Structures are given as C-alpha cells and as structure tokens.
Chains A and B, each alone.
Chain A
C-alpha cells in the first residue's frame, strides 16, 4: 500500500507522543480500540479549568501507520481548542487531511472516538469535582 506523504511524516515524526498524569483532575483520558483488533489509541488532553482551553494533548497508539498518523494529527489539532471546539472534529476532517484510503477510514473513526472519550472523561471529572466543591459548601 502506498502511504500519503502526510501519513509518512506523522509516522516518522509523530507529534506529542507521551502520557499525562491521568489522576490530574484537569486531564481527560480516552482509550479506544482493542489489541485483538489491531488498534488501541490512548489520547489525553489537559484543560485549563478557567478557560476550557486544551493546553496540552498527548497520545500513544498501537496500530498501523495510518492509526498513528490519525492520532498524532488529532493531538496537533487539539492544542489551543476549547473542549467544545474539540468535539467538533470529525473523522472525515482527518481522512481529508491525511488522504486516507477507504480501508483506513476506521483509523480516523478511532481517532474521533478517542477525542470524544478524552473530553468526556475530562467533563465527568470536572463535574464530580464541582459536585464535591458544592457538597463541601453545604
């Protein structure tokens, strides 16, 4: 299979590889996929609780080159976006940017799912945090 130059670039120089502290209340973690399916993506965002802006995003991916490129690209796009803007990222945006062939569309779907999972995890955390603050005031 021939890879697009952008996929090759992300594969050779993946952006934002790494892990954030998943116990940090401002960090949302999304883990999607399964080893037996051949793809697992872990995507994390660190959100400024005052502004709702994503200040940091990291990923680690087990998967083919297109899966690695999709998640690497996702972290690049997440930087500086608000959590609501992040939820607007669609898998088709990733397909277009990386020129993914039809057999690799599932990689972009997985990346979109990973973004959503990470943001939802952050939202859940901040909700329980504000609940905790509210109940401590009573």
Chain B
C-alpha cells in the first residue's frame, strides 16, 4: 500500500491508464482540427470526436447529436442556464433550483437575477433531498426551467430526478440537471428521467480535466439554447471554439469504461464505503452520516465526528487526502453551505469529513483509513472541551457561548 492515500474522488479522479492510452495519438499524430473538412487530418479528428459523442450518448441514453462538448461541467451549467434564460425570455423569466446546488449553478443563477430573472432557491429536507410538493408549488406560469443536480458533490445524495422530470414535463417546464457526480457512477438515462439538459465532466470519471459536455434534448421537446460565446459556430452553433480532440477522446473512453464496469464497480464501492462507515460507527460514539443513506452515490461517505473540528482532524490524518466542510478549510471561512442547508447545525458542519472512494481504492486502504481516523478522533476528543462537557451531561445547545 502506498501513502498518501487518495480518497477525495468527488474533487477529481486520476486519469485511467486506458483513457490515457486512447488519448495519446491525438496530440502529435492525429492532431487535426475536427472542423477541417478538406483533408484527412481533419476527417480523422472528426471521426474520433464522433466516436466519443456516441460513447457519451450511450452512457446516458441519448442520441449522439444531442451532445455538445464544453470545457467542463462549470461551462455546461453556465451554458444551460444562461442559454435557456436567454432563448426562452419571451416565455417566462422564472427558474427554480435548490439551495444545495454546486456554485456553478448557484452563482450563475445569481448572475441571472441581476439580469431580471426571478430565481427560487428551494430548501432541502434534513436528508438532503428536494421536497417534490414544494417544487410543484413553486412552479408558476412564468417558470421556464428547473435545475436540480443529480447527485450532490458533498453529501452524495441522489435527488429524485425521474420524479422531477415527470413533474417538469407535465408542467411544460424544462429540466436541467448537473449530473457531474452521477454520470458513470449510477445509471443516468435522459429518456427515462425526462431530462432536457444535463451537464457532465470527464475528470470526475477517470478522464482528463478541462473537458465536459452538455446534453441538449432534440426531440419532444426540441430544446434550444442561446450560445454564450461567439465564434466559428461549432457544436451546431451552441458552443464555438475548436474542439479539444484529445480531451474529447478521453471523455468518450472514460464513459465507455464506466458504462462497461458500472454494475460491478458500484457494488464494490458500496461494499468498501459501508465497511468504512461500519468501522467508524463501531469504534466511535456520536458520529453522524450527513444526508440520506438510502438514495446515495455508492462511493460517498460524508460523516460528522461530533466535538472534533474538521481541519484539526485533517491535520491528524495527513497521509490521507479527503476534504472537510469545516470553515477553516474553505476560502470563505464559512462552513459548508450544503451541510448548513440540511439544518444539522454549524457545529456538525465544522466536524464533517467527506470520503470519496474511487476506482483505484483498495480494501487495504479502507482498513488503514478507518484505523487512522478512529485513532485521531479519539485523540482530539481527549483534547475537546465540548466532548468533556457532553460526557458530563451538559446540553451544549443551552450553553451561553461567547461568539466571536
């Protein structure tokens, strides 16, 4: 076993060697511009791009013509929201999204608000899921788009996208889903789920960074978006810019690998994740899993160790790469807004750790991580005045703290 151990696969994943092999020829040999129509360099590049388009489409149940290549999920989210808002401005000016969305959606919505779009940010339930009744009640005759993520990047919960899709369709509202964390991990099917637009990214599924795609439905309904970049009119006019052929080949290969291995791999990851959780819960008291365990990515464990601050825990497990919802680990010095949205209290957000298992994690690594975390949590609890008070039976919620 090699240290440090990487267990932060929601942040990014390493490129699979098979993906890298597939990409290699497209840097120096088959380097053509896919838009060059009059020589073999261009044709070969185009052929590679079209193969990738099909591999992506196959993974999500789409038609290859419905795949628009982008630089990643942030761009896909921007293009979907801004593109729809602009294209459907005559139909309405209301968008519904959720409080736990990725910043690429939330901040895009904030930008749109400045342009006169009205945005409803739905709160989530304590299990992290959107309340369907609340969503239905939020829809007005001005609503043009619902944007709800497929799987959450922090807590891994899977939103009821199929139900949301059905509802959106019945109301004649478009559904966009940021499926970045879900695609390749759980079955995503744009037909079954009634999805109109979906964002995805290569580097979350063992592909390279800097490439992603936006699925844009072509039939029932035919979805149109206004391009957000001007240029050569690539990607059927929706996204100009010379295609990143090696990246696109990598994205396609990554999708094909995820597609082929998904049933087995998701079982393996769920087994490892559950083993990790079981060990932590057996050896430590007062640990809380954040978000529902029922509807969840197989590789995600987001867990709070009460009375222990997240950054100090990360310091103690410095040979393991994970992340924390603690304010001290964020640039803004605010604890995770996702955990806060669950209503668990800021103290549990400060105490949270996100484990993101991946294709290259082994059972031996999971055993090592569990033992190390248990050891450090015990040590930090010996140091924690809160743990001491809780053991004395003091209700911490009733203490008069001197907030600073």
Interface with A: B33-41, B87-95, B117-125, B326-334, which one? B326-334
Closest residue of chain A to B333, judged by CB? A103
Given contacts A63-B312, A64-B309, A65-B311, whether A34 and B402 have CB atoms under 8 Å apart is yes
Tell yes or no: B346 within 8 A of A by CB: yes
Residues of the B chain whose Cβ atoms lie less than 8 Å from the Cβ of A68: 312, 383
- Do B327 and A38 touch (CB < 8 A)? yes
Knowing A31-B385, A35-B396, say if A40 contacts B401 (CB, 8 Å): yes
A35-B401, A36-B347, A106-B404 are contacts. A60–B388 as well, Cβ < 8 Å? yes
Residues of B within 8 A of A32 (CB): 402, 404
Q: Count chain A residues whose beta carbon lies closer than 8 angstroms to a beta carbon of B.
A: 31
- CB neighbors of B among A14-71 (8 A): 14, 17, 19, 31-42, 60-65, 67-68
Interface of chain A, helix or strand or loop or mixed?
mixed
Smallest distance from the beta carbon of B83 to chain A beta carbons, Å?
Answer: 37
Q: Determine if A77 is an interface residue (Cβ-Cβ < 8 Å).
A: no
Is A60 a contact partner of B385 (Cβ separation < 8 A)? yes
Would you call A17 and B307 a contact (CB within 8 A)? no
| Interface residue from B326, B387, B396 paired with A38 (Cβ < 8 Å) | B326
A110 at the interface (CB under 8 A from B): yes
What residues of chain A lie closer than 8 Å to B347, measured between beta carbons? Answer: 35-36, 38
B1 at the interface (CB under 8 A from A): no
- B3: interface (CB < 8 Å): no
- Verify A34–B403 contact, CB threshold 8 A: yes
Between B308, B350, B383, B404, the greatest number of chain A beta carbons within 10 A of the residue's beta carbon is seen for B383
Distance of A77 Cα from B342 Cα, bound (Å): 42
Question: Which residue in chain A gives the minimum CB-CB distance to B346?
Answer: A36
Q: Is B386 engaged at the interface, CB distance under 8 Å to the other chain?
A: yes
A61 touches B401 (CB 8 A): no
Answer whether residue B382 sits at the interface, using C-beta atoms and an 8 A cutoff: yes
Residues of chain A within 8 A (CB-CB) of B382 are: 17
State the CA gap A31–B382 with chains docked (Å): 17
Across the interface, do B311 and A64 meet the contact criterion of CB distance under 8 Å? yes
Which has the most chain B C-beta neighbours within 10 Å: A19, A35, A67?
A35
Which residue, of B327, B333, B387, B404, has the highest number of chain A Cβ atoms within 10 A?
B404
Tell me whether A3 and B315 are in contact (CB under 8 A): yes
User: A66 to nearest B CB, angstroms?
Assistant: 8
Contacts of A11 in B (CB 8 A): 312, 315-316
Answer yes or no: B384 CB below 8 A from chain A CBs: yes
- List A contacts of B383 (CB < 8 A): 14, 17, 60-62, 68
Q: Given known contacts A34-B403, A35-B350, A64-B309, is B385 in contact with A41 (CB within 8 Å)?
A: yes
Contacts of B384 in A (CB 8 A): 60-62
Interface string of B133-176 (1 = CB under 8 A from A): 00000000000000000000000000000000000000000000
Set of chain B residues within 8 Å of A19, measured between Cβ atoms: 388
**A36 & B345 in contact (Cβ 8 Å cutoff):** yes
Interface-centre pick from A33, A34, A109 (highest chain B CB count, 10 A)? A34
Question: Nearest Cβ in chain A — how far from B381, in angstroms?
Answer: 9
Given the interface contacts A64-B309, A65-B312, A106-B404, does A38 sit within 8 Å of B385 by beta carbon? Answer: no
Which A residues are CB-close (under 8 A) to B404? 32-34, 37, 39, 106, 109-110, 113
Given the contacts A17-B383, A33-B404, A40-B401, A64 and B328 also touching, CB distance less than 8 Å: yes
Please give the distance in Å from B331's CB to the nearest CB on chain A.
9
Interface contact B402-A64, CB-CB below 8 Å: no
Q: Quick one: which of A92-130 are within 8 Å of B by CB? A: 103, 106, 109-110, 113
Assembled-state Cα–Cα distance A71/B404 (Å): 16
Report the nearest B residue to A117, measured CB to CB. B402
Closest Cβ of chain A: how far from B385's Cβ, in Å? 4
B335, CB-defined interface residue at 8 Å: yes
Closest to B308 in A: A62
Shortest CB-to-CB span from A118 to chain B, Å, is: 13
Residues of B contacting A37 in the complex (Cβ-Cβ under 8 angstroms): 327, 346, 403-404
Using CB atoms, name the residue of chain B closest to A63: B309
How far apart sit A110 and B385, CA to CA, in the bound complex (Å)? 15
Question: 4 nearest interchain CB pairs?
Answer: A34-B401, A36-B346, A35-B347, A42-B385
21 sampled A-B residue pairs with Cβ under 8 A: A17-B382, A19-B388, A32-B402, A32-B404, A33-B404, A34-B402, A35-B350, A35-B401, A37-B346, A37-B404, A38-B350, A42-B388, A60-B383, A60-B384, A63-B309, A64-B309, A64-B312, A64-B328, A65-B312, A67-B312, A110-B404
Further 7 A-B residue pairs, CB within 8 A, beyond A36-B401, A109-B404: A11-B315, A33-B402, A35-B350, A35-B396, A38-B350, A64-B309, A64-B315
Spell out B's residues near A (CB within 8 Å).
Answer: 307-309, 311-312, 315-316, 326-328, 333, 335, 345-347, 350, 382-388, 396, 401-404
